[in-house]
Amino acid sequence: MERISPHQFMTLGSAVLLGTTFLPVASIVTGVGGRDGWMSVLPGLAAGIPYGLMVLSLLEQYPNKNLLQISEILFGKWIGKITGVLYILITSYFGGLLLSQAGDFYEVSIMSLTPIGLFFLGGLLLVFYLVNSGIEVFARFSEVIFPVIVIALLLNIGLSLPRMEQGELLPILSEGIKPLFWGGLKVVPFAMEYILFLAGILTFLPISKRELGQLKTGVWRAVFLVGILDTLVVLIQILVFGPAETIRLVYGLLVLGKMVEISRTVAGVESLFLGVWFGALVIKVSAFFFTVTWGLETVFSFKGLKWNLAVGVFFLVIAFRFQRGPSLIREIGLIDDYLILPFVSVWILTLWGVSRWKKGAGVQ
């Protein structure tokens, strides 16, 4: 059985949680929370902490089992299977949508003449290789790529500082804290995507007491690291574009990348940033690919290359179905808000509640 270390769990979790959230997050939270939207990012993502800890407490109680197996134990076979099917459907559909985003952001920015299918195919090939290589290789891949993503983000943010407009963040909290609540609610689905991944990866995590403690710290660290990064991304966009333009820009960070200029000499470095964003996207799509394969194995005992190929084809079909950028962006938002958020929040909470109740009542 493959195992990943607590450190790998932390970096992999951070990479999955971050994914490509830095691309739409500014537009989403500013649209709801206005110029104070940046304050809602960290609290919104922090919802991932209690949920992550609940998942790990279930791991403690049911070692070497993923949440689908635990669901079958706690809810009974059929409800467990239905939950599993929902899990597979949501993760496979969402994974396909994310793959489609690779085509969208490349086509809209720097490679408008390349057939969109090549981005899907190229991305999927990398994802496929990672999935076939196993979770250890995927974790190591994240350990290498995630720091590069962080550095690229910080560079993009740092080099955009000279473009800041005066006083765009002010006034602070002029509309009270209500908009922050709504902004936070828009970010919670990002945390729930991470929990979906966590639900499946449990069987690959170490289970000794010391390591469990490290895993819990890993959840905290991942959430705070990504929360701070995404907050900075929103902050810089509001500071440079102002709130109204931040809402309008579909991929504001790409526009920032195009504005980077060093000493009026170095410019046009957005392609470098885009290469890194592609790495982030591959990690996120791979995570969802993994969740689908784990789901299929747990619920239907389908596993092996044949089924991986089938999942890949399904991802491609979904990606090709959403070649219209606006439809894709809207669909991702809808799935996040109306499927992933309610499904994960209810499922994990109920599972954890039932396990506590059964433990308290001494029922096995």
Partner 1 sequence: MKSNIGKERKVLLITILITCLLFLPGCWGKREVEELAPLLGVGFDLGEKPGTFLITMQFARPKKGASSGAEIEERTFSVEASSGREAIEKISKVTYRTPFMGSLKVMIIGEEAAKAGFKDMLDFAQRFAEFRRSMYLVLAKGKAQDILNLKTRSGLLPAMAIKNNIEGGDELSSFPTVRLGHYFTVLSTKSTAPILPVAKSVKSGEGLEYKADGNDEAGEIRILGAGVLRGDRLVYFLTDEETKGYMWLENNVTQRLINTIDLEENSTKYGGHVLNSTTKYKVKANNGKIELQYQIKTSIAIDEILGLKKQLSGAEWVELTKEAEKSFAKVIEKECESSINKQRELGLDFLGIGRHIEQKNSTYWKTIKDQWEKEMADFPVSLEVQVTIHHSGMSSSSATNSAGEGQD
Residues that bind partner 1 (CB under 8 A): 108-115, 118-119, 121-122, 125-126, 128-129, 132-133, 163, 165-168, 170-171, 174, 240-245, 254-255, 258-259, 261, 264, 267-268, 271
d(CA 273, CA 153): 8
d(CA 9, CA 2): 13
| Smallest distance, partner 1 to C-beta of residue 167, A | 5
d(CA 93, CA 84): 14
Look up residue 68 and give its two tokens: 């689908």
Find out whether 4 and 204 touch, Cβ atoms under 8 Å: yes
C-beta of 95 vs 243, nearer to partner 1: 243
C-beta of 261 vs 297, nearer to partner 1: 261
| Smallest distance, partner 1 to C-beta of residue 184, A | 21
C-beta of 213 vs 326, nearer to partner 1: 326
Look up residue 274 and give its two tokens: 């885009």
| Smallest distance, partner 1 to C-beta of residue 172, A | 9
Phi, psi of 64 (to 5 degrees): 60, 20
C-beta of 64 vs 133, nearer to partner 1: 133
Q: How far is CA 15 from the centre of its chain?
A: 8
Strand (E) or helix (H) holding 261: strand 261-262
C-beta of 115 vs 147, nearer to partner 1: 115
| Smallest distance, partner 1 to C-beta of residue 86, A | 32
| Smallest distance, partner 1 to C-beta of residue 81, A | 31
Find out whether 121 and 319 touch, Cβ atoms under 8 Å: no
